[in-house]
Structure 1
Amino acid sequence: MSQPISPDPVEQAAQDWFLRLTAGDMDTADLQSFRDWRQADPRHEAAFREVRALWNDLDPLEPAFAPAANETATHRIRPRLFRPGAVAAVTALAACLLLFVATTPDLLLMIEADYRTDRGEQASVTLPDGTVAHLNTGSALDVRYSDGRREVALLTGEAWFDVARDTERPFSVLALGGNSTAVGTAYAVRDRDGIATVTVTEGTVRVTPGKGGDGQLLHAGQRIAYRADGGIGPMERVDMDAATAWRRGMILLRDRPFTEALEEIGRYHPGRILLLGDETKLGRVTARLSLGALDSGIDALAATHGLSVIRLTDYLVILR
């Protein structure tokens, strides 16, 4: 008679963490415990990536969870051999995961990201080489370091990187199929609405869009944007004070259309801000708002444009 196979404790822990992440009920302390577990032992990281890779390999679920077109094989670890029971265990996990797809739009980000912030949150993390990544609101970052490379992927949102100098291993940020590479400098990358924007605050950065697009060398005070299809915009000088205001806990708006200003404010608000009425009559906005007193800023902005504010809940604000 065959003996029952005891589950490998590391694999079991990886599967448990995977399921908890997709359930979406982990608080900040739980997420930190997960990061600590991944970093405690290389076997933990390998086991978690194996579970995630097997999930991606499940053919019936491929249409819903196919990797982005810009994701290459070098960035995904495919398992060569699974211990007995691993496929069955992860298939069971897959059945549970399907329950969360429709109600959890950030499901894949929760699984893929090493670090993430919710709307209205900001965080600073120190990467293994000493580089400091400052994550802005609603952002997700996947760290892909190895002995030969320093690479992170900005999955969504915005992050500013103070890069530790290492001439042997340039630092690269992947976003929308392109990458921005530096040796030791400081720059920000923003992924929003299908456009990646790179802003250099110190040193130089080479920005190369995907799809074989031509690269550009940026210097401090310059910015460039590109799309996932490889299209790249013109290099331009940047209002550094406005571009880095979020690092100082501020939103700095200079001669912006009202709806555009409201959209920028909405990035930091935990709920929805709705505008009722004719937006074409509202003119333009120049303002400095504190992220720590965002409700007061919204009230002041509304008052200067003759609007009233209705707060139905903490998560729904109506301007009319």
Structure 2
Amino acid sequence: MSNLTDFPNINLIEEQACDWIVKLEGDDPPSAQVIAEFNAWMKQSPKHKSVLLSMTETWGEMEVLSGLSIAPVRPSKRSELRRKIYLPLVMLAALIAGVGSKFVNLLTTVSRPVVGIPVLAMLFTIGLSTWYLIDQPITQNNVYLTNLGEHSEHTLDDGSVLWLNSNSQVEVNYSSSKRKISLLKGEAHFDVVPDAERPFEVYAGNRMVKAVGTAFSVYRLDDRIEVMVTEGKVDLAIMQDTLILSPESHLVNT
């Protein structure tokens, strides 16, 4: 019996979503047949809807969904900022790199207002080296997350390194007296830079793991946490009790 799971081809879905945005954004209203085909495509997979909503939100084309059987979401401040600042650069890079007329046509369709010559000159001077900014993970309110099958690594403000396992989420809050990490779900590994004045605290539900300079992992489940210490020591606080874990310690707490 096979345990393999087929995951959707995200690149193909994004290409199909681009096609639909271009088709629905045309000068003439879409025909009943086009709308029926669009709705059928949307029902094929929940991923189709999420990708389309994400693309229309990012490029400011929420009106594409007007009159269709899709409820647009309110554009976030992040999307508005990224659209206003980076959209002209995306257009320029796409034209120079020759990524394909389909994508360029989409960007041309959604890029209102027209970019002026001085702006284009400035963007050309900046160069395509800034293109990578578009694809960098964006952190909102110091929240880091991964989807299923994803892993990520982040260097925090103090130099400590955070590794996120698949389907995990943490919130980082640093102050002058404390380094607080909230593990909202999943598993995270921390390589902590020593700072005696600011303890490094990881919260998971009503449990707290405290370290000064060490390396350890915390795995949060629905009703318990697992802590693995690979270097140094950590204090584990549960309500009024405190446990001290040393290297290679592995605790499952319920």
TM-score range, shorter chain: 0.3 to 0.5
Q: TM-score, normalised by structure 2?
A: 0.45
Structure 1-normalised TM-score?
Answer: 0.36
Larger Rg: 2
